[in-house]
A and B are shown apart, each in its own frame.
Chain A
Amino acid sequence: MEDIQEEENGTDEEVLGSSLTMEKVAAAKQYIENHYKAQNKNIQERKERRWILERKLASSGVPKEEQINMIKDLERKETEFMRLKRNKISVDDFELLTIIGRGAFGEVRLCRERKSGNIYAMKKLKKSEMVMRGQVEHVRAERNLLAEVESHYIVKLYYSFQDPEYLYLIMEYLPGGDMMTLLMREDTLREDVARFYIAQSVLAIESIHRYNYIHRDIKPDNLLLDKDGHMKLSDFGLCKPLDCRNLPSIQENRATDDETMSEPMDVDRCFPDTDNKRSWRSPQEQLQHWQMNRRKLAFSTVGTPDYIAPEVLLKKGYGMECDWWSLGAIMYEMLVGYPPFYADDPISTCRKIVHWRNHLKFPEDAKFSSEAKDLICRLLCNVDHRLGTGGGAQQIKDHPWFKDVVWEKLYEMEAAYKPEVNDELDTQNFMKFDEVNSPAPERTRSGLSRKMLLAPKDLSFVGYTYKNFDAVKGLRHSLEMARTMSLDRSPAEAMPVELISGEAAEAQMVSSMDDPMII
């Protein structure tokens, strides 16, 4: 009798496996896998920090007593870090200050952590927009990369957390501004300045490629400058995303039609009476038009496709090489003054990029070296022949234009450009954004945080919370040494989560069912 009832219940449960149940199952699995992966990573990193310090101390002439003190200080910091991780962090822990960036999914602003007084940049992303535009995987990838990569080429992530409406990234604030703002001020860069920043960009891109991460959307706004003028890669495509799905599919084999389609626009707009120049504005006109349009683009919440590789636009599958194309487009802009495939509207720009063979041109009066032109042409080309394809960053470093670059000292030497920064709250190197009146967000009481994560909207963002060891204050000295040693370490293999096979589980479960005491 009881057995029959149990079977019926089982049948009902199987039939009633709703889609919400399946979503919760997937979220639970992801939560468990994230949890143990992060736990193993934390253990590994703690061991590594101690090993680095001990090795450093062993080879130094520090007295024995001070060595013991430094190890105890590290232990104290580890304890504080574990306590920090137990704290539920929220937006109320930060004092919100100036807005320094705004995009489709949210905004970036200066903020001060109330407890420590530290200044950070807070990136705030609206969950509903992320889900609606299919950006969940991108935001996860960004958070994962920033949490995993320890590099001084990449802006540092200190915390990530969420509330019902937003995701938050608390990041290093770099008061020097970004490459876009610098180019707006300077129009073009001297060749030695351009070489310095392109070289630093090579190191940054190499850094993320080492972790199998493809940026896909490298552009001047994503190249941030610290207070000394050194460059860090940031904003992994999320604040001003170019939604390629909104663009019509561009066919590679419709060159003739495209050429025909593009001509009338040019004739009507720019050259009503000059047949000879129908498809080519003069460099001066191109520069002036770009300068007028770029300020509008800077305040827009829609990204520009100017730096995106053709294989990305064609949606035919792409690899890490697409980031080197973007670097070539930025280099062209640094030296020429406007992007290589600039056009009046994004669709025309995309067409030019896809048909780059017909549209990659240099102004006749260009005043930079043949090596620079050669490098640009080897980056803005077919993916099979592009520098970096196959050979990676080293292929680019070997190019003659970088002959005099001392790669190991790029971040130690004085930067090619020194931004003006008056104090730690200075935002003069960023665009000025107006405040937008938004309704006060509903407060999240701690008792409800777990339940809210069960709402369907939040199942997509399981495992988002993160805290960085460097958020714990302590002796700068020992950390500086440890950090120096750990820079550029190769990525540690993530310890795999030990999962029991289904068969073993069933076997064990069967054996427990045989327990006579239970029956």
Chain B
Amino acid sequence: MKAGRYEYRWADGTTMVSAPEYVELLMNWIETQIDNEHIFPKKTGEPFPPNFEDFVKRILRKLFRVYAHIYHSHFPKIVTLNEQAHLNTCFHRYLLFVSEFQLVDKEEMVPIQKLVETILKP
């Protein structure tokens, strides 16, 4: 999956897949993570794991790649479909959240750095 001149591969670089395949694999994996009661406990009183934050960071880092791909490869289409306000709202919230709690490294956001800086500019 591409975001400009950057390319994301599945399984941390070992498998080259198309964007739809990548998104499908990613969403399935995230759903598995959230359904995992050892990571996201459902029962009353059950504590979160000590490394819970690492799981969250990994999920959010990979989610960024979907946003990067959409903005780079499909934004004109999004505008044609009149969906840009919805996309921007979601990305705004995502970005403010990960920025507030420092959940995604700055280097990961380079593919759409200009957009990120515009949003985060005070």
Q: Is the CB of B77 within 8 A of A10?
A: yes
Q: Which of A77-128 contact B (CB under 8 A)?
A: 80, 83, 86-88
Whether B27 contacts A502 by the Cβ 8 Å rule is no
Question: Smallest CB–CB gap between A23 and chain B, Å?
Answer: 12
Q: Which residues of A contact B71 (CB under 8 A)?
A: 509, 512
Q: Determine which of B35, B89, B118 lies in contact with A499 in the assembled complex, contact meaning CB atoms within 8 Å.
A: B89
Residues of A near B87 (CB, < 8 A) are: 505
Which residues of chain B from 76 to 100 have any CB-CB distance to chain A below 8 Å in the complex?
76-77, 79-90, 92-93
Question: Who on chain A is nearest to B77 by CB?
Answer: A13
- Nearest chain A CB to B105 CB, angstrom units: 17
Whether, in the assembled complex, B41 has its beta carbon less than 8 Å from a beta carbon of chain A, the answer is: yes
Interface centre among B27, B41, B86 (most CB of A within 10 A): B86
B75 within 8 A of A: yes
B111 A29 Cβ-Cβ under 8 A: no
Asked if residues B41 and A83 are in contact (CB atoms below 8 Å), the reply is yes
Chain B min CB distance to A432 (Å): 38
Instruction: Report yes or no: B44 in contact with A447, Cβ–Cβ below 8 A.
Output: no
1/0 contact string of A482-519 vs chain B (CB within 8 Å) = 00000000000000011111101110110110110110
The docked-state distance in angstroms from the alpha carbon of A100 to that of B109 is 57
Complex formed: what's the CA distance from A506 to B31 in Å? 32
| A505 pairs with B88, CB closer than 8 A | yes
Query: How long is the Cα–Cα vector from A21 to B78 in the complex, in angstroms?
Result: 12
B83 and A500 contacting across the interface, CB-CB below 8 Å: no
B106 at the A/B interface (Cβ < 8 Å)? Answer: no
Main secondary structure of the interface of B (DSSP, over half): helix
Residue of B nearest to A87 (CB): B42
Q: Is the CB of A512 within 8 A of B118?
A: yes
Task: Tell whether, in the assembled complex, residue A86 and residue B34 are in contact, meaning their CB atoms are under 8 Å apart.
Answer: yes
Chain A: minimal CB distance from B30 (Å): 10
Given contacts A83-B41, A512-B112, A517-B110, contact A499 B85 (CB under 8 A): yes
CA distance A25 to B78 in the complex (A): 9
- Indicate whether A450 reaches chain B with its CB closer than 8 angstroms: yes
A45 and B106 alpha carbons, distance in the complex (Å): 35
Give chain B residues whose Cβ lies under 8 Å from the Cβ of A17.
Answer: 80-81
Interchain CA distance A14-B81 in the complex, whole Å: 9
How far does the alpha carbon of A31 sit from the alpha carbon of B112 in the complex, in Å? 25
Of the residues B34, B86, B112, contact of A29 by C-beta under 8 Å: B86
Which residues of chain A are within 8 angstroms of B84 by Cβ–Cβ distance?
A: 500, 502, 505-506
Write out the residue numbers on chain B whose beta carbons fall within 8 Å of the beta carbon of A32: 86, 89-90
B32 at the A interface (CB under 8 A): yes
Q: Does A33 contact B (CB under 8 A)?
A: yes
A508 touches B77 (CB 8 A): no
Hey, which chain B residues are within 8 Å of A433, CB to CB?
none
Q: Are A447 and B4 in contact (CB under 8 A)?
A: no
Contact call A500/B88, Cβ cutoff below 8 A: yes
**In whole Å, how far is A121's beta carbon from the nearest beta carbon of chain B?**
25
For A515, the chain B residues whose CB sits under 8 A away are: 113-114
Cβ distance B63 to chain A, nearest Cβ, rounded Å: 15
**Contact between B114 and A500, CB atoms less than 8 A apart:** no
Interface: A246 (CB within 8 A): no
CB within 8 Å for A512 and B114 given contacts A450-B31, A518-B5? yes
Given A36-B93, A501-B85, 17 new contacts (CB under 8 A)? A10-B76, A10-B77, A25-B81, A83-B43, A86-B34, A498-B92, A499-B86, A499-B88, A499-B89, A500-B89, A500-B92, A502-B84, A508-B115, A511-B118, A512-B71, A515-B114, A518-B114
| Pairs across A and B, CB under 8 Å, 5 listed | A29-B83, A32-B86, A86-B40, A506-B84, A512-B113
- Nearest 10 Cβ contacts at the A-B interface: A512-B114, A512-B115, A500-B88, A499-B85, A515-B114, A505-B84, A32-B86, A518-B4, A505-B88, A25-B81
Which B residues fall within an 8 A CB radius of A? 4-5, 27-28, 31-32, 34-35, 40-44, 71-72, 75-77, 79-90, 92-93, 110-115, 118-119
